Amino acid sequence: MEPVIIEKSKQRKVWKKFMIAGFLALGLFIFIGGFIFGLLVDKQDVSLLDKPLPAATVFYDRNGKEALRLSPVHATEAVSYDRLPRHLVDAVVAVEDKRFFEHGGTDLLGIGRALFTNLTNGKTVQGASTLTQQLAKNVFLSQERTWTRKWKELLLAQKIEKTYDKPQIIAMYLNQIYFGEGAWGIQKAADVYFGVSVNRLTLSQSAMLAGILKAPSALSPFTHKEKALQRRDVVLGLMKDQGKITAATYDAAVQEPISLRGSDKSSASEAMKYPYYIDQVIREASDRYGLTENDVLHGGLRIYTALDPRMQQAAESVFAQSSVFPASVADQLIQSGAVLVDPRDGGIRALIGGRGKQPFRGFNRAVQLKRQPGSTMKPISVYTPAFERGYTLEDSLLDEPVDFGGYQPQNAGGGYHGEVSIYDAIINSYNIPAVRLLNEIGIDAGMDAAKRFGLELTDADRTLGLALGGLQEGVSPLDMAEAFGVFANDGTRIPAHSIIRIETADGDTVPADSEPVPVKTTEPAVARTMTSVLVGVVSEGTGQLAGLAERPVAGKTGTTEMPGTGGKGIKDNWFVGYTPQLVGAVWLGYDHTDGSHYLTTTSKAAAAVFQKLMSEALRGEPVLPFPKADGISQKKPAKQGESESEKDHKDKKDKKNQKHEKKEKDKHPKHGKSEGKKNKKDE
């Protein structure tokens, strides 16, 4: 037995040595890691927080003239910690970072709690960023969600905590954060919402402002008062649970009525010129330059834009005229988004994201909207690839009932027109010929063309419904303006952009991740042919309300049907058109469509808005001609009596077309009952 005991004793000694070595190695690893981490923290530069409020950010127009100046007084006004009411600090800490005064910049307990909550819920429902980390992100970093940014945020937070005390940190946070309605910083927020200085905020008001931080636009008491009150009560409840206020104080605070400042003072965006355009500049500055919202609004930058102030003011004036738009129902305004782009350089000259009062950085329908484009897709996904394959405006298509595996497209208003030319099919926006033609050239041809025109489609869009704009995700007015710019620019697409360049206050150029490089999309002859027929759409087709006096204009209407209205209701109404120097895209519709909210006026309403918008925007601009398409007359081609040369030119294609159409006729009765998926309709 003795040898066994000796052997076990040796094994225990070996394991003991291994454990000691392991602990020593772990300790050394932690020590080295901590040392390196400390060095990385020390290398972080947070001196920007010591600097006075930044110089004004200046926006320049396309001619290099100052268009807008955002001085610090418009952005934020610093307030020292001793001027902050204690209940305001308690409210912000209670809802945003309850262990703020205990942790050292990173809350490991909060991270663990958030991780457990998110894992048990199967999704991200709780964050773990401390106030210090949020300050670091707002001042120094972009809003991208990457591990690299989180690591930088962690290092900066640690350096901030080593450099400043807690009162300084929370004061800087409250002076930097955005409270909605154009209010940057707590002093501006107190004034915008309640018309008081920050040191006179009540407990209830403080709780409401603290609650707004989660989602400033969605929780603004001016536009969502009930939600703002509910959020205020959540904050007050957290303060009570954390022992910051008594139950009696809580009861009194939740009963306190909220008296907001008059609506004429409710939005700083009303004092800011061109709020929708500036919104797009912020969006583009983030996407292309990696800048934050803070950088743009009060970073002392010099931002050179493609803005045409006269066109922007004209667009804003048109959108302020209710008579230009169809009448809305009582409880919801018919909305609209529009954009004007110069096709020759891709510069966004003007942009309007909605009608009526809108919060700054609210929903921008000119760029954020995603709606089905209806028949404005026909020139892009059907007729351009057809012309590229040798089809001409005189070629014939059949406008008769057809069934593609259960998909039975119909024309707006019903009815069929027999054999029609491509020219007639386009200017009258017949649906069935467009679907037949896409089927003939192949859906892949339509998908490829849409991609070349800059439209992002998905595999779900690979259907014949593509011909009529039946997209899964939809497009924005900016998307369509850029796409139609191809026709106006002889087949070359230049990505639409609002920013030309950005400079720092010191004159250094801020590098961009990408530049708007011209993209050859189709041949000039194809673009000119399409322009010639789109001129016909306006002169004698569905877009006649878009005509501009003594100025050539081309364009296309588009509508999508509101289900359940028997074809009499419209969900989306579009017009996209252009002159040689300007492309305009207009969308009309309700934000929330249902059985009581849809368009019942003429489907040409967007064309009328386009006409007014372009007329005002182009006032005083030179009248330029479209380049002539070789061999193309801008008059309607004859449907009968073709010359022998014309017949010879398309003989082979016609035979193939007739053979295909005969098969379809034999398979399907001329007036068979329509079944299957509903198509999108256009006039």
- Count Cβ atoms within 10 A of the Cβ of residue 512 and give its class: 0-12 exposed, 13-18 middle, 19 or more buried: middle
Q: Which of 586, 578, 524, 587 is nearest to 551 (CA)?
A: 578
Q: What is the pLDDT of residue 507?
A: 81
Q: What is the pLDDT of residue 113?
A: 55
Burial 560-586, CB ≥16 within 10 A → b, else e:
bbbeeeeeebbbbbbbbbbbbebbbbb
Q: How far apart (Å, rounded) are the C-alpha atoms in residues 81 and 244?
A: 18
Which stretches of the chain score pLDDT less than 70?
A: 1-8, 10, 28-31, 33-55, 71-77, 107-128, 141-150, 182, 262-271, 294, 298-299, 601-603, 631-683
Q: What is the pLDDT of residue 657?
A: 46
Residues 6+ apart with CB under 8 A from 237: 250
352 and 374 Cβ atoms separated by less than 8 Å: no
Taking each helix axis from N to C terminus, what angle separates 431-441 and 443-452, rounded to the nearest 10 degrees? Answer: 100
Q: Is the four-CA dihedral 113, 117, 123, 125 of positive or negative sign?
A: negative
- Report the DSSP beta bridge partners of residue 497: 347
Query: How many CB atoms within 10 Å of residue 465?
Result: 23
Q: Tokens standing for 308?
A: 């045409």
Q: Is 371 helix (H, G, I), strand (E, B) or coil?
A: strand
* Structure-derived torsion over alpha carbons of residues 18, 23, 24, 25, reported in degrees to the nearest 10: 90
Q: How far apart (Å, rounded) are the C-alpha atoms in residues 424 and 294?
A: 53
Q: How far apart (Å, rounded) are the C-alpha atoms in residues 96 and 479?
A: 38
Q: Which of 606, 591, 599, 609 is nearest to 332 (CA)?
A: 591
Catalytic pick among 375, 381, 429, 532: 375
- Count Cβ atoms within 10 A of the Cβ of residue 620 and give its class: 0-12 exposed, 13-18 middle, 19 or more buried: exposed
The string of DSSP codes covering 448-471 is: HHHHHTT----GGG-SGGGGGT--
Strand-pair category, 57-60 with 418-421: unpaired
Tell me which residue has tokens 């050859």: 520
Q: How far apart (Å, rounded) are the C-alpha atoms in residues 8 and 630?
A: 99
Q: What is the pLDDT of residue 505?
A: 73
Q: What is the pLDDT of residue 123?
A: 45
> Within its chain, how far is the Cα of 654 from the centroid?
44
68 and 59 Cβ atoms separated by less than 8 Å: yes
Q: CA-CA distances (angstroms) from residue 129 to 21, 44, 57, 94, 394?
A: 36, 19, 29, 14, 65
Q: Tokens standing for 582?
A: 């300007």
| 375 catalytic per annotation | yes
Q: CA-CA distances (angstroms) from residue 562 to 97, 138, 415, 432, 468?
A: 47, 43, 19, 19, 15
Q: How far apart (Å, rounded) are the C-alpha atoms in residues 322 and 334?
A: 10
Q: Is the four-CA dihedral 535, 537, 539, 543 of positive or negative sign?
A: negative
Q: Tokens standing for 452?
A: 């070349």
| 539 catalytic per annotation | no
Total residue length of the chain: 683
Query: How many CB atoms within 10 Å of residue 60?
Result: 18
Q: Residue 349: what are its φ and ψ, rounded to 5°?
A: -85, -35
Q: How far apart (Å, rounded) are the C-alpha atoms in residues 480 and 380?
A: 10
Catalytic pick among 77, 96, 153, 661: 96
Strand-pair category, 66-70 with 302-305: unpaired
Task: Enter the pTM of the model.
Answer: 0.66
Q: What is the pLDDT of residue 52?
A: 55
Q: How far apart (Å, rounded) are the C-alpha atoms in residues 612 and 189?
A: 38
